[in-house]
């Protein structure tokens, strides 16, 4: 049930109402018009680099004075390269085929009629994001492309950056002829809380929170709207005695290489007891040379004093930095059970030369995606395929896995009769 309007700032209700009414027109807009709007957003962002970077500098200076954690500062920082990547993502989105109106065969057919289904917009989507000012542009592109209106609420640390990006995007959407309210920006001046926004279920169809687990949990706790949870970090790797230390080393290093948010970074390694001490030492030396901070269970710390002892509560928490924890495990079954208990559940890996082990791992691990002798490194704009991704979801029942264009749509079933009674 929606929170009483008297408990919510009127600016939030007004923004939600504008987005709600805009969604009806966006849902029936031509795909070509929506694509033009996304391309206009890319051009507007490109033409606003100087203003955006200047605004970002103000945010960084203020955040440093407030002793904001280094992790958030890295998420907050914009560079010409990060902005150029965002522009490239928007350009690619604009050039993709229309994800809506695709006709699919239905699972059932009624007598004397034809039944089919089509992808349709969800309606109004709200993105609540921690730092990551460029995330607003990517999410807006995905939403406009799929015929959804979007409400953006960023963190106060990125207030100047969010405003600069939001203004550029809003002008582009307006110039492309899309309805007012297609893109709504909740600014820091609105003084709106997360609760104000996530309780507007009368107007909002989906909430996407993006940031640390504390933000995700807050949104899930307070929201009266459906929530599509995203995840970062605390991904596991199981090192089988049939796998090579070279593959393990490469996968860990590569998984941390995406920026600014290494979504699928491997932070925990389960090592079979049959692994030789020399191989474990090689792995530790490699990771230390690459700047990683190493932690280990009591047994490994006793053998390898360069490891710092892991606290029990760390196995289920994301580090979100260059920290990796190692643990000895007896067998594959125990590794799967441990991962299912402690992993974030969105991306876990195995290194093995055994096909049987790889299949057992892929079927047994309760994760949205599994990687076999392959780096889980995340990319929003992969070079292969025709999709752009916002993030990763670890939840079941509502668009689990990669958050793509299709994740922001729903299915409508249509029954076409032939006039017989």
In this prediction, residue 165 carries a pLDDT of 97
In this prediction, residue 413 carries a pLDDT of 85
In this prediction, residue 112 carries a pLDDT of 74
145's tokens: 């492309």
- Is residue 383 situated within a structural domain? no
Q: Which of 63, 85, 88 is nearest to 74 (CA)?
A: 63
Indicate if 56 and 203 belong to the same structural domain: yes
CA distances from 7 to 36, 165, 193 (A): 39, 29, 11
In this prediction, residue 411 carries a pLDDT of 87
Total domains, the chain: 2
Q: How many helices (H) and strands (E) does the chain have?
A: 14, 16
Q: Which of 275, 258, 251 is nearest to 370 (CA)?
A: 251
216 - beta bridge partners? Answer: none
In angstroms and rounded to an integer, the radius of gyration of the C-alpha atoms of the chain is 23
Indicate if 168 and 239 belong to the same structural domain: no
Distance CA(224)–CA(197), nearest Å, equals 10
Indicate if 65 and 179 belong to the same structural domain: yes
Under a CB-based contact definition with an 8 Å cutoff, are residues 261 and 239 in contact? no
In this prediction, residue 2 carries a pLDDT of 46
Indicate if 127 and 202 belong to the same structural domain: yes
pLDDT tens-digit readout, 45-92: 999 999 999 999 999 999 999 999 998 999 999 999 999 999 999 999
In this prediction, residue 1 carries a pLDDT of 46
In this prediction, residue 198 carries a pLDDT of 94
H-state helical runs in 48-118: 49-65, 70-76, 80-95
Helix (H, G, I), strand (E, B) or coil at 4: coil
Under a CB-based contact definition with an 8 Å cutoff, are residues 123 and 147 in contact? no
Helix (H, G, I), strand (E, B) or coil at 16: helix
154 - beta bridge partners? Answer: 129
Tell me how many degrees the CA angle 130-134-138 measures, rounded to the nearest 5: 105
Indicate if 335 and 363 belong to the same structural domain: yes
Residue with tokens 């924890």: 325
Residue 353 sits in a domain whose CATH number is: 3.40.309.10
Question: Has residue 193 got a pLDDT over 80?
Answer: yes
Indicate if 299 and 253 belong to the same structural domain: yes
In this prediction, residue 189 carries a pLDDT of 66
Q: Which of 186, 196, 351 is nearest to 270 (CA)?
A: 351
Indicate if 201 and 334 belong to the same structural domain: no
For residue 329, the tally of other CB atoms under 10 A from its CB is 21
> Residue 32 — very low, low, confident or very high, per pLDDT cuts 50/70/90?
very high
pTM: 0.91
Indicate if 259 and 403 belong to the same structural domain: no
Q: Which of 121, 89, 101 is nearest to 22 (CA)?
A: 121
Under a CB-based contact definition with an 8 Å cutoff, are residues 195 and 3 in contact? yes
- Is residue 16 situated within a structural domain? yes
Question: Has residue 190 got a pLDDT over 70?
Answer: no
Question: Has residue 157 got a pLDDT over 60?
Answer: yes
In this prediction, residue 418 carries a pLDDT of 75
Indicate if 349 and 402 belong to the same structural domain: no
Indicate if 245 and 206 belong to the same structural domain: no
Indicate if 165 and 193 belong to the same structural domain: yes
416 - beta bridge partners? Answer: 114
Distance CA(178)–CA(180), nearest Å, equals 7
Under a CB-based contact definition with an 8 Å cutoff, are residues 280 and 300 in contact? yes
Instruction: Please give the residue range of the domain that contains residue 328.
Output: 235-372
Pairing mode, strands 293-296 and 323-329: parallel
Under a CB-based contact definition with an 8 Å cutoff, are residues 393 and 368 in contact? yes
Distance CA(379)–CA(258), nearest Å, equals 7
Helices 159-175 and 31-47, interaxial angle, to 10°?
Answer: 140
Residue 203 sits in a domain whose CATH number is: 3.40.605.10
Question: Has residue 4 got a pLDDT over 60?
Answer: no
Average pLDDT rounded to a whole number, residues 221-249: 94
For residue 98, the tally of other CB atoms under 10 A from its CB is 16
Helix (H, G, I), strand (E, B) or coil at 205: coil
Backbone angles phi, psi at 412, to 5 degrees: -115, 130
In the chain, % of residues over pLDDT 90: 77
Distance CA(124)–CA(102), nearest Å, equals 20
pLDDT tens-digit readout, 118-139: 899 999 999 999 989 999 999 9
Least confident of 141-150, 210-219, 391-400: 391-400
Distance CA(68)–CA(70), nearest Å, equals 7
Q: Which of 342, 343, 324, 352 is nearest to 253 (CA)?
A: 324
Question: Has residue 108 got a pLDDT over 80?
Answer: no
Instruction: Give 98's contacts (C-beta < 8 A, 6+ positions apart).
Output: 31, 32, 34, 35
Indicate if 200 and 251 belong to the same structural domain: no
């Amino acid at each position: 049930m929606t929170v009483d309007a008297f408990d919510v700032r009127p600016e939030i209700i007004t923004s939600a109402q504008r987005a709600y009414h805009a969604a009806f027109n966006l849902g029936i807009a031509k795909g070509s018009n929506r694509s033009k709007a996304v391309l206009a957003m890319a051009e507007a962002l490109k033409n606003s680099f100087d203003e955006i970077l200047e605004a970002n500098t103000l945010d960084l200076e203020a955040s440093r004075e407030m002793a904001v954690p280094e992790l958030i500062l890295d998420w907050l920082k914009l560079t010409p390269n990060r902005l150029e990547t965002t522009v490239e993502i928007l350009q690619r989105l604009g050039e993709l085929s229309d994800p809506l109106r695709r006709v699919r065969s239905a699972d059932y057919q009624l007598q004397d009629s034809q039944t089919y289904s089509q992808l349709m917009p969800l309606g109004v989507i709200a993105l609540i994001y921690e730092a990551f000012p460029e995330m607003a542009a990517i999410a807006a592109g995905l939403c406009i492309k799929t015929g959804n209106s979007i409400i953006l609420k960023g963190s106060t640390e990125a207030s100047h950056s969010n405003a600069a990006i939001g203004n550029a995007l809003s002008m582009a959407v307006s110039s492309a002829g899309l309805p007012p309210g297609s893109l709504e920006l909740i600014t820091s001046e609105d003084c709106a809380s997360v609760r104000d926004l996530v309780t507007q279920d009368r107007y909002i169809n989906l909430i996407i929170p993006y940031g640390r687990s504390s933000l995700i949990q807050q949104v899930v706790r307070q929201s009266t709207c459906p929530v599509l949870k995203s995840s970062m970090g605390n991904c596991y790797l199981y090192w089988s005695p049939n796998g090579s230390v070279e593959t393990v080393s490469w996968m860990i290093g590569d998984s941390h290489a995406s920026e600014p948010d290494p979504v699928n970074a491997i932070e925990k390694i389960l090592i079979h007891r049959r692994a030789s001490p020399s191989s474990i030492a090689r792995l530790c030396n490699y990771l230390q040379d690459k700047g990683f901070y190493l932690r280990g269970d009591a047994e490994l710390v006793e053998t390898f004093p360069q490891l710092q002892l892991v606290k029990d509560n760390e196995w289920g928490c994301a580090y979100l930095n260059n920290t990796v924890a190692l643990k000895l495990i007896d067998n594959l079954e125990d590794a799967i059970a441990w991962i299912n208990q402690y992993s974030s559940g969105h991306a876990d890996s195995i290194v093995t030369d055994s096909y049987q082990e790889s299949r057992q791992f892929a079927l047994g691990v309760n994760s949205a995606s599994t990687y076999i002798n392959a780096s889980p490194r995340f990319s929003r704009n992969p070079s292969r395929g025709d999709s752009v991704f916002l993030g990763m979801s670890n939840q079941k029942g509502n668009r689990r896995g990669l958050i793509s264009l299709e994740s922001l749509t729903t299915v409508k079933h249509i029954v076409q009769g032939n006039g017989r009674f």
